[in-house]
Amino acid sequence: MPKLATWLREKDEKWFAPFFAKHPEIEICNARERNVSVENTSGLLLTGGADLAPEFLKQPVPDPSVLEQDVDPACDRWEFAAVNESLERGFPVLAICKGMQVFNVALGGTLKLDISGHKLPEQKDQDIQPLRTDKKATHRFDRVNSSHHQAVDSLGRGLVVESWCASDDIIEQIRLRNYPFALGVQYHPERGKIYDSLFEDFFSRLANNS
């Protein structure tokens, strides 16, 4: 049985449940609820959440007031270790929203710590943000439901950009070069109805890796 390692917040479970329900053969191993050893799983899902705790950022923080206060260092610590363990073992990785930022920082990248125009209420659930996407990208979406106040700045080791916000070039999708499947998306595929192909691609790789 494939096993998916993740740290999933209780309030996000309802969004992922429909996608998980299509694959009852996959065991969801939620590190928020119990001890999860990544080496005994088949892949890693990094989901959304509060800002990274400052101690995990690999850059100066000129104005700490721009950072959210409800950080979760325990989650961050587990996710950083999980990224390293997963990549060492060649596991598939899907990183969503804050998860993409964790993935980038874990590979040595930095973040734009506060941006404007990307956290309007309607952006969270509606596919209204236009993207500019590299023609080589496997997963291409014209418009997405992207809501965030931080973004990838300098890229981590081996990462390439696949999609940008069409209006201001904020990075919206990244991929680890020369790796079977490690994809980061700044938008929220779990909240939309157009992203089944992305999840199905990821889930199929769990089965191949179990």
Hey, how many other C-beta atoms are within 10 angstroms of the C-beta on 192?
18
Q: Give catalytic status of residue 75 as yes or no.
A: no
Q: Which two tokens stand for residue 67?
A: 């950072």
Report d(CA 39, CA 121) in Å as an integer: 38
Q: Give catalytic status of residue 162 as yes or no.
A: no
Q: Which of 29, 75, 79, 97 is catalytic?
A: 97
Three-state SS at 185: strand
Three-state SS at 43: strand
User: Which residues, 6 or more positions from 139, have their beta carbon under 8 angstroms from its beta carbon?
Assistant: 162, 173, 183, 197, 198, 201
Q: What is the DSSP string of 112-163?
A: ES--SSS--HHHHHS--EEEEE-TT-SS--SEE----S-EE-SPPTTEEEEE
Is the distance from CB of 35 to CB of 81 less than 8 angstroms? no
Q: Which two tokens stand for residue 27?
A: 């065991």
Alpha carbon distance, N-terminus to C-terminus of the chain:
7
Q: Which of 79, 162, 172, 190 is catalytic?
A: 190
Catalytic residues: 97, 188, 190
